[in-house]
Each structure stands twice: as C-alpha cells, then as structure tokens.
C-alpha cells in the first residue's frame, strides 16, 4: 500500500514524497500598468465625478426637489397630469437611480480598499453595480501604484486578528486545499512572538544594516477571479516570469505573518511578504529600512528578514549534514487523508496497520476480498485486478450494463419484426467474461447509494438553512465514512454531518448515512471521480471545482489507463444527474458506455470552438441569474434545470499555443462548472493548478497536494472488454443477426427427467435432495439458485462476493463449496454434480435443472423447434410452459438475502418470457375462434407480467372476439382506472377507437 507523508506537531512532514516537483502554473495574462491605464483612470475619475456629484448638482439647479413639500389633498390627486407633474416624476426616478448608483460606488470602494471578501450586493442594481465596479477598479488600479506604498504593505502593521481575517478571506486564492487551518491558527501567536524576539536580537546586533538594500513585496488579495502568483510578480518586477524560482528560493520555508510557511512555488497567500532579488524594480516594492513606513511595518519586515537569516543558516546546516531533511517543512495546503474517529469521537491516524483484516464497509471488503482470493486461484483463476479494486467504477458500469440489457429486452419485445431477438443476451466469453466477473466481484452498489443519498441530503439540508453549497475539492471514503474536504472553512455542517479533523472537513459516519432516504435534491457535486486509494481511503477529486487545469504526466499508456477510468466512472456513476464529458483525441470507442453523456472530438481545434462558446454562454447565464458560481445554482427551485457540469478530458500533450489557449479557457472555469484534465509529457503545463504523475508501477503522485495514491486504472485490454459488453448489449447491434437461444436447453421428453429439480418461478422448492442442516440451509439454497441462473458457470470469487458482499475468508468459502458438493451429490456414473470447468468456474451438471430452464426450453421448442411444424405440438408445449408459472422469481426469499439479483436482468426477462408465452398461446386459440381459452391464457400471463401493454391489448382483442360489447366496456373501464393520471398508452387508445368507438364517452362520464 502506498504511504503518505505524515505531519508532526510542528507541521513538518516526517517523510519526503518521491516524484517530480510541480512547476508554478504559467499565467494566462500578465497585468501591466501602462499609459493607457492612467488615461482610463482619469476618465473613470471624471465619470465618477459627473455621476456622483454632477448629476445631483444639475438636478438641484435645474429642477429642484421633485416631491411635494406637504401631504397632497384629494383634489390634487384628481387633477390632470401635466408636463410639470411628468417632469417631477421623471426627476424622482433619476434621484433614485443616482442614490442606487452612489450606494454601489461606496460598496465597491469599500471592498476594493479593504481587499477582503466580495463586494456586497446592492438590491436591484445589477448593471449599475457592474458599471460602478469597472469605474472604481480603473481608478484604483493606478492609484495603488502612484502611492509611495502599496495598499497591501500599508496593512502589514495590522493586528493579529486582522491577519487571521485575511487568511480566511484568501483561502480561495490558494490553488490547493487548506487542510491544516486549525494547526496554523494555534501556531500564529507563537510565530509572531518568535518574530518579536528576532526583532529585538536584530536591533541589538545591528542586523538591519545587513539588509538595508533588500526589497520586499506583499502578495496582493485576489481581484475578481485574478490571483497573484510568483510568475506574475517576477514578470512585473524582474522582467522575466521564469525568474520566479529566484523569489521562491529566497523565501522558501520562511515564517510568514500568519505563522505558515512557503513550501511550494504555487502555494502563496495574500498578506505574505516576499523578499525580492536585488535588481527588482517597480512602485509596488518596499525597501528596508524605509522612512515612509510605520514602525509596525518596519518591525514586520525586520522580523521577516531575520527569518531569512535563520532559514539560510538552517539550509547550510542541512547541506553539511547530508540534506536528507531539506524538504521536511510540509505544505500547509494539501489534500489530507482524513483521520479515523474512534468510538469515543477522538480522531486517530488512519493507518494501514489499524485496519488490516477489518472490513468495515462493502467497498473495502470487496476490494480486500478480491485481492486476497486472487492469489489462491493462480493465473487461470485470476480476474482483472484493476476492476476488483475500483468498487465505485465497477458499480457504475454494472448498473449501466444492466440498464442497457433491459432496454434491449424491451425494444426487442415491443419493436421486433419477424424473429424475437434479445430475449437471451449474448453470453460473454474470454476477456469480456473475465471483466463481467470482475465487475460483479468488485462492485459496491451500496457504497454508491450511500454516497449519492448523503450528498443530496446535504444539499437539501443547506437549502433549508438558506446556505450555499461549500466548494468541495475532494471526498474521501474511509472505513465506511464519508469525508468532504472543503476549499475553505464553511462553518458548522448541518446534522448529522460533523466537523472532521479541522474546519475544512465535513464528516458523515456510515451509520448516519444509512438513515437517509431518497430525496429529490439535485446532485450537488457531480464532478467527483475516483483517482485511487491511500491508507485504506479512497479519494474522489472534484474535477469541476479545480481552480485551473489538472495535468497528468507519465507514459502514454499509463496516462491512457487513468483517463479511461476517469471517463468511464464519470459516464456511469450514480451520484450525478446530468453532465457532459468531452473526450478529445481519444476514447471514441468509450462512447457506447453512455451515449447521452460522452462526446468525442477529434482534435483540439474543435474543442476550442465548442468550449469558447459554452464558456461565454455560462458566464452570461450566471450573471443574468445573479449567481457567483454554479454551486449557488444547484439549490432552490431551479436546481434540476441548470448547472450541469462539463468535464473535458484531453489525454494527449497539447502544443505550446494550444496549452496557452487551454489555460485561458480554464482561468474562470471552476465557477462555471467546467473542468479540464489534460495529459502532458512533463509537469510544466501552463495554467495547471494541480499537477499529477502516474508511474509505470501504478502509483499516482501529486507532491504539490501531498498525495501518493495507488492509482485507479482501466488498462487498454480491460477497456476493450468493457466496451464489448456494452456493444453486445446494444439493441441496435447486429439487428439482422440470429435469434439467441437459451443458454441451457433441457431434454423435455420423458427420458430427460432430471435428478435434481428446483422450482424458482414462484416459491423456492427443491425436489430430489434431502433438506440440509437448518443453520446452513438458507446459504446453500442461495448458492444453488445463483448457479442455476448462470448455467454458463460462476467464478468462485463471484459466488463468494454474492453470498458475502462484505467480504469472507477463503476457508469459509471453500467450506461452503465442499458442503454444496456433498449436498448435490454425484450422478450414477460417479461424476460430481458441481464441477469446475477449464476456466476455473463452477458449473452444474445437466442432471440439475430448474423450472426456469424448462420454461425457456418449452417456449424455444414451441416457437423455433418442433412446434413450428406441428400446431398440436405447439399448443401442448405452450400450455405446459404457462402451467409452470406460479409467481415471481423466488417469491418467498428472505429479506436481506439474494441481493445479487439487483445485478441480474432475470427480473425483466421472466415477465417478458411469460408475456410471450401468453401471447403465443392466445394467438393459438384465436386461430380456432376459442376466445375464452385465449382470455384464460392472457389472464394467467398477466398475473406475472401485469404491466405488459401487449397483453392488455391482446386481451381487448380476445374480449371483442366474444361478441359481448358489455365485457369490452368493462375491460376498457378497468384499463382506464389502472392507467390513472398518466392516461392510456397511445397504442391502447388507438385500439379502443377501433374496437369500441364510444369508449371516450364512458371515460368522460366516469371522470
């Protein structure tokens, strides 16, 4: 199991994650103040002067006060409206507009000067506030550079409380996840006290003179969606953005005013101080000492200078001592594995040793079971490990495959002409069979259900409290619990959610999640996708919320396996409503997984054309709706109609120009619900907020985020096999192909009497075997039913996963198989009735038969075998088949058992098969004008397939054939009552119009 870096009490990591370091994202645009900026500022000042001062002055001089000076009388109200009255009303409107605009200016000026938070929203002042914002921004843009000091540095002398407020407000500016907020808050006071002692020592030893010519820069607060970066600072003040490394090296690991440290070049926060190289220039820089700054500012700069000496001394000491601890100061903004909560509520480290052998959730147990049993079977018994270790992906694929097969069944039943196709889905073979077994073993549908319900319930609870959804960067599934890692603290979560190990974690225990019921709330975080596991915890990254591009480097084949896994899970997951996944330059064969979600583009040019238009459209829609981001549009009355995410996956390395254009598109993508994941040959992709690397041994490294995962992959061979399963299940695939025969045909003659006969259609009964021990009877019956429904064979790992979905040891499973073999016994020739085929799968002997096998065989013989040539044989076979139907499949099964049936399509196959038998027998009787016999056959079929429209329509025809219009009217009234508010299907209405033209009059009278 891959390990992560853990942190000591001082915030320093005790390990050093391997892998390349991330490069600072290159900016999309570089801001420079030119002569044009000064011209714009002057014009903005004139415009503000005219609008704020000139307008009221002109109104006061030309029109005066528009409102009456005393209360109007009734006679005044009855006077005709003249020009003077109209002008007074118009003037009042202008006064109100001026007051609103002035309020907007004041709000924008306050927000711009403070540099904290977003401006308050003035009610009903959308365009006015936008104009005020643009004018104020243009004016203050050069106002900051014209001053002898920047507004940021002028605040360096503020109190500790002010610095803490700035830290919280600037959390969103950090292109990572702030996961150690509480530790930082506790260490801030100690850090400032330490800085004060440094200042005293510095004054005593005259160290200020040593740094007399040093220049400093203060990281600026975000302006709109624009965030300061070391690249832009180097571009402005050193003339070359590539010199950002010099700034980074000068300031690495030095204590900042808020107590934290600079550990990665792309992780900087507003309010931090950066020491600059000696040749730095520009009006935003401050030299130390500087007579124009306050004593508090000089003290803070002196403190920071002292930390530089200390850091350099420490670095020299480390280099002399070997340097193995040079990178121990860990990032303060990382994706962090959630702590495990003990029974008493105390957070404990989630280590592998604590959880070895423990199966606290279906997901973890399935995974551990799959891996543990894989070694005992040898190579021929192995299943694709990638899918065994991907429970959420496997559950999504399995559910989507089941829906596709059911769709094929219904389309075949309702639309086939000539032969019936699709009643028996093709039995997969080879790699496709192995992949299907791996999906059955690895899938954790219960985990998907709990994740979906938990997220939707959280959104519903926040809506009730009139709170917005917090920005979630990641979700962890750890030991059955769900942990959401927020971009920044968002207060106390709604119950039963709790705060986790710090303010940026919201945690929900599995016990509490199981109490949730289905809700109609929209999916709040549809962009979550599994990336891999670390310390027995599974990470889901929210691609939609990443502040920029997620880049993935590594070998092309390894990158392709990650991208295929991400695309497949996004396309089939169960915690999303609507989304679009655009695959660029790869994945054309993946579209059959979800044609409504997946879209393939051949090249990057087509992507730019599509996404540029969509970005503009979404930005405009957000502004028109008054939302800050898509998250605020996922609550309230419009939650089901807007804000579906669009995730773009580009697996190949873009050119330099294409990378720049991608960075421009991604600059504002996070708040628009658009995510970009781009493949790269190295880790210097422009605009990449988070850089990851997949290694040849299957690890996913992200040093900037503090991650080292065992990557979730979908290699090329398994990808092709998964696609094959979906293509074979497609109702449009090979429409002229042969009709599929049942997987197991029974000898229905007297000589074919089975040794063991199981009745599954209706109550479960077994004939030919003694009743096993009471304690083990239910488990043996369930195992036999699974084998009877899969005559092609069942992999032992599939059997154990079905019977023990939370995991089982090999000795328990093997003991069950031994008891099952002993119970079934042997045939007269001595061969066991439970055997193992060449692929290692468990198969039953032909002498063990179920009534479902007989039912399929009778229908097949009646419609495609002996009954085709002989009408008498066909009638007898169809009658015998309908007699076997005693109710739904396994009608008396115990609650909590047979959960594997949710993966099967037999619940859709059996009603269709029974309906086909009823229809065929009805047609057989109507050929000889035996309407009553036909009605009897249709009634028997309707008891098992009451929702089949074909049976009701045929019952109308058979009832009409009796010549009794009253019976037809009674049946029509019964159909209308059953249909309820939905109304009758169009085909049934058309048939009633033909058989009973007056039926609508009766329906109206009944209504």
Q: What is the distance between the alpha carbons of residues 443 and 911, in angstroms, rounded to a whole number? A: 26
With contact defined as beta carbons under 8 Å apart, do 900 and 783 qualify? no
Q: Which of 285, 294, 335, 24 minimizes the C-alpha distance to 149?
A: 285
The set of residues, in sequence order, having a beta carbon less than 8 Å from that of 147 and lying 6+ positions away, is 283
693 SS3 class: strand
Distances (CA, A) of 952 to 800, 935, 957, 971: 42, 10, 9, 9
> From CA 300, how far away is CA 196, in angstroms rounded?
8
Query: Under 8 Å CB-to-CB from 149, ≥6 apart: which residues?
Result: 286, 292, 293
Provide φ and ψ at 739, rounded to 5°.
-70, 135
Rg of the chain over Cα atoms, rounded to whole angstroms, equals 36
Element (H, E) at 875: helix 871-883
Q: What 3-state DSSP class applies to 898?
A: coil
755 DSSP 8-state letter = S
Is the torsion defined by CA of 96, 102, 104, 110 positive or negative? negative
State the DSSP string of 489-513: ---PPPTT-EE-SSTTEEEE-HHHH
Sign of the four-CA dihedral 107, 108, 114, 118: positive
DSSP three-state, residue 217? strand
Sign of CA dihedral 358, 361, 367, 372: positive
Tokens of 239: 């003339």
* Other CB atoms within 10 Å distance of the CB of residue 483: 22
Is residue 317 within 8 Å of residue 328, measured between CB atoms?
no
Q: How far apart are CA 854 and CA 884, in angstroms?
A: 9
Segment holding 517, helix H or strand E: none
Query: Which residues are within 8 A (CB) of 138 and not within 5 positions of it... i.e. 6 or more apart?
Result: 37, 40, 41, 43, 44
Alpha carbon 266 to its chain centroid, in Å, reads: 26
Quick one: pLDDT at residue 323?
34
| Cα–Cα distance measured from residue 869 to residue 474, given in angstroms and rounded to the nearest whole number | 65
Closest CA to 949 of 911, 981, 920, 923: 911
pLDDT in tens, 206-258: 333 333 457 888 787 766 546 677 878 888 888 887 788 888 888 888 888 77
Cα–Cα dist 842/860, whole Å? 26
For residue 948, the model assigns a pLDDT of: 87
Longest dimension (CA), the chain: 117
Do the Cβ atoms of 917 and 878 come closer than 8 Å? Answer: yes
- Can you give the pLDDT at residue 752? 80
Query: Is 0.85 surpassed by the pTM of this model?
Result: no
Task: For 9-47, give one letter per residue: b (16+ CB within 10 A) or e.
Answer: eebbbeeebebeebbbbbbbeeeebeeeeeebbeebeeb
CA distances 242 to 167, 218, 345, 653, Å, are 27, 19, 48, 21
CA triplet 436, 438, 441: central angle to 5 degrees? Answer: 115
- The string of DSSP letters for 457-489 reads HHHHHHHHTT-PPPPEEEEEEETTEEEEEESS-
Q: What DSSP designation does 174 have?
A: S
Q: What is the pLDDT of residue 261?
A: 77
Which residue ranges in the chain fall short of pLDDT 50? 1-31, 115-117, 144-212, 225, 310-333, 341-381, 416-422
Token pair, residue 789, equals 């429904």
DSSP H helical ranges for 763-848: 774-788, 796-803, 810-824
Query: For residues 356 and 372, is the Cβ–Cβ distance under 8 A?
Result: no
* φ/ψ of residue 166, rounded to 5: -65, -35
**Tokens 């056959």, located at residue:** 937
CA atoms of 845 and 744, how far apart (whole Å): 11
Q: How far apart are CA 663 and CA 779, in angstroms?
A: 57
Q: Six-digit token pair at 418?
A: 């000539």
Give the whole-angstrom CA distance, residue 500 versus residue 514. Answer: 19
Q: Is the torsion defined by CA of 625, 631, 636, 638 positive or negative?
A: positive
CA 744 – CA 1004 distance, rounded (Å): 51
DSSP 294-360: -HHHHHHHHHHHHHHHHHHHHHHHHHHTTSTTTT-S--SS---PPPEE-TTS-EE---HHHHTT---
Q: What is residue 540's three-state secondary structure? A: strand
Cβ atoms 667, 687 nearer than 8 A? yes
C-alpha to C-alpha distances, 680 to 29, 335, 651, nearest whole angstrom: 21, 22, 8
Contacts of 830 (CB under 8 A, 6+ apart): none
Which of 575, 453, 563, 471 has the alpha carbon at shortest distance from 518? 453
Question: CA neighbours within 13 Å on the CB side: how many for 830?
Answer: 0
Asked if residue 761 lies in contact with residue 851, where contact means CB atoms within 8 angstroms, the answer is yes
How many Cβ atoms from other residues are within 10 Å of residue 848's Cβ?
25
Task: Spell out the residues 6+ positions from residue 60 whose beta carbon is closer than 8 angstroms to its own.
Answer: none
Distance (Å) of CA 198 to CA 191, 260, 272, 812, 999? 10, 17, 18, 66, 96
Q: How many CB atoms lie within 10 A of CB 847?
A: 19
Instruction: Tally the C-alpha atoms within 13 A of residue 874's C-alpha that lie toward its C-beta.
Output: 19
Task: For the beta carbon of residue 187, count every other beta carbon within 10 angstroms.
Answer: 20
Give 761's contacts (C-beta < 8 A, 6+ positions apart).
Answer: 851, 852, 855, 884, 885, 886, 887, 888, 889, 910
Residue 332 is predicted with a pLDDT of 30
């Amino acid at each position: 199991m891959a390990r992560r870096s853990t942190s000591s009490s001082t915030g320093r990591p005790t390990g050093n994650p391997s892998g390349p370091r991330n490069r600072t994202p290159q900016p999309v645009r570089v801001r420079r103040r030119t002569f044009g900026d000064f011209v714009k500022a002057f014009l903005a000042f004139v415009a503000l002067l005219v609008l704020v001062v000139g307008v009221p002055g002109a109104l006061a001089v030309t029109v005066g006060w528009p409102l009456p000076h005393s209360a109007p009388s009734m006679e005044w109200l009855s006077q005709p409206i003249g020009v003077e009255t109209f002008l007074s009303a118009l003037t009042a409107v202008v006064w109100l507009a001026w007051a609103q605009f002035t309020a907007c200016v004041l709000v924008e000026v306050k927000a711009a000067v403070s540099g904290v938070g977003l401006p308050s929203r003035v009610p009903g002042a959308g365009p006015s506030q936008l104009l005020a914002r643009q004018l104020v921004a243009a004016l203050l843009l050069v106002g900051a550079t014209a001053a002898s000091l920047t507004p940021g540095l002028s605040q360096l002398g503020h109190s500790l409380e002010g610095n803490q407020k700035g830290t919280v407000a600037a959390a969103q500016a950090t292109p990572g996840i702030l996961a150690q907020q509480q530790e930082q808050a506790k260490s801030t006071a100690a850090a400032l006290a330490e800085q004060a002692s440094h200042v005293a020592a510095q004054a005593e030893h005259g160290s200020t003179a040593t740094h007399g010519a040093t220049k400093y820069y203060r990281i600026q607060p975000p302006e709109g969606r624009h965030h300061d970066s070391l690249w832009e600072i180097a571009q402005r003040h050193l003339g070359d953005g590539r010199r950002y490394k010099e700034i980074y090296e000068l300031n690495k690991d030095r204590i900042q005013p808020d107590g934290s440290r600079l550990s990665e070049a792309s992780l900087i926060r507003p309010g931090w101080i950066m020491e600059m190289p000696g040749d730095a220039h520009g009006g935003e820089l401050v030299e130390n000492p500087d007579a124009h700054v306050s004593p508090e500012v000089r003290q803070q700069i002196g403190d920071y200078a002292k930390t530089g000496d200390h850091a350099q001394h420490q670095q020299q000491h480390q280099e002399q001592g070997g340097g193995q601890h040079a990178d121990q100061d860990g990032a303060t903004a990382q994706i962090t594995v959630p702590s495990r909560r003990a029974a008493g509520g105390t957070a404990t480290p989630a280590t592998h040793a604590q959880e070895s052998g423990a199966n606290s959730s279906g997901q973890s147990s399935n995974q551990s079971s799959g891996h543990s049993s894989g070694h005992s079977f040898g190579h021929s018994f192995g299943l694709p490990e990638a899918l065994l270790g991907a429970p959420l992906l496997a559950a999504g694929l399995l559910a989507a495959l089941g829906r596709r097969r059911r769709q094929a069944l219904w389309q075949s039943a309702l639309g086939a002409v000539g032969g019936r196709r699709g009643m028996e889905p093709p039995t997969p073979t080879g790699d496709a069979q192995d992949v299907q077994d791996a999906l059955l073993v690895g899938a954790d549908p219960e985990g998907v259900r709990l994740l979906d319900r938990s997220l939707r319930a959280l959104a519903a609870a926040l809506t009730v409290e009139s709170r917005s959804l917090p920005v979630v960067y990641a979700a962890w599934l750890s030991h059955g619990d769900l942990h959401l890692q927020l971009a920044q603290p968002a207060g106390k979560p709604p119950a039963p959610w709790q705060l986790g190990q710090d303010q940026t974690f919201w945690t929900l225990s599995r016990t509490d999640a199981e109490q949730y019921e289905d809700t109609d709330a929209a999916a709040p975080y549809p962009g979550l996708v599994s990336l891999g596991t670390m310390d027995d915890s599974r990470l889901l990254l929210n691609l939609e919320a990443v502040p920029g591009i997620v880049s993935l480097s590594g070998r092309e084949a390894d990158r392709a396996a990650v991208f295929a896994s991400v695309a497949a899970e996004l396309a089939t997951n169960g915690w999303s409503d609507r989304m679009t996944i655009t695959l660029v330059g790869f994945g054309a064969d993946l579209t059959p997984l979800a044609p409504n979600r997946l879209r393939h583009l051949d090249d990057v040019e087509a992507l730019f054309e599509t996404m540029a238009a969509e970005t503009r459209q979404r930005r405009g829609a957000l502004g028109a709706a008054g939302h800050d981001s898509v998250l605020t549009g996922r609550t309230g009355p419009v939650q089901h109609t807007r804000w579906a995410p669009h995730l773009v996956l580009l697996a190949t390395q873009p050119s330099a120009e294409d990378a720049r254009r991608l960075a421009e598109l991604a600059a504002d993508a996070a708040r628009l619900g658009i995510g970009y994941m781009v493949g790269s040959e190295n880790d210097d992709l422009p605009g990449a907020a988070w850089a990851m690397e997949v290694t040849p041994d299957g690890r996913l490294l992200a040093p900037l985020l503090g991650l080292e995962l065992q990557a979730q992959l979908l290699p090329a061979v398994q990808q092709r096999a998964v696609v094959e399963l979906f293509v074979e299940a497609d109702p449009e695939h090979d429409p002229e192909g042969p009709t599929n025969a049942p997987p197991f045909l029974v000898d229905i003659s007297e000589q074919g009497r089975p040794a063991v006969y199981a009745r599954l259609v209706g109550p479960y009964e077994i004939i030919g075997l003694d009743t096993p021990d009471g304690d083990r009877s239910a488990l043996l019956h369930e195992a036999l039913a699974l084998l009877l429904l899969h005559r092609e064979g069942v992999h032992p790992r599939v059997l154990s996963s079905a019977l023990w979905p939370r995991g089982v040891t090999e000795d328990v499973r093997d003991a069950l198989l031994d008891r099952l073999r002993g119970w079934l016994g042997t045939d007269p020739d001595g061969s066991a009735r439970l055997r193992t085929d060449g692929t290692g799968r468990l198969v039953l002997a032909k002498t063990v038969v179920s009534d479902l096998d007989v039912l399929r065989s009778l229908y097949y013989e009646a419609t495609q075998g002996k009954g085709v040539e002989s009408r008498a044989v066909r009638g007898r076979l169809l009658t015998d088949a309908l007699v076997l139907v005693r109710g739904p499949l396994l009608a008396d099964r115990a609650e909590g058992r047979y959960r594997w049936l949710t993966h099967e399509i037999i619940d859709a196959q059996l009603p269709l098969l029974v309906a086909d038998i009823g229809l065929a027998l009805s047609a057989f009787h109507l050929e000889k004008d035996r309407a009553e016999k036909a009605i009897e056959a249709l009634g028997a079929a309707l008891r098992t397939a009451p929702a089949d429209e074909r049976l009701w329509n045929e019952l109308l025809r058979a009832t009409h054939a009796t010549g009794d219009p009253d019976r037809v009217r009674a049946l029509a009234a019964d159909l209308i009552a059953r249909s309820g508010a939905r109304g009758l299907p169009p085909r049934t209405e058309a048939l009633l119009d033909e058989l009973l033209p007056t039926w609508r009059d009766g329906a109206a009278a009944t209504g």
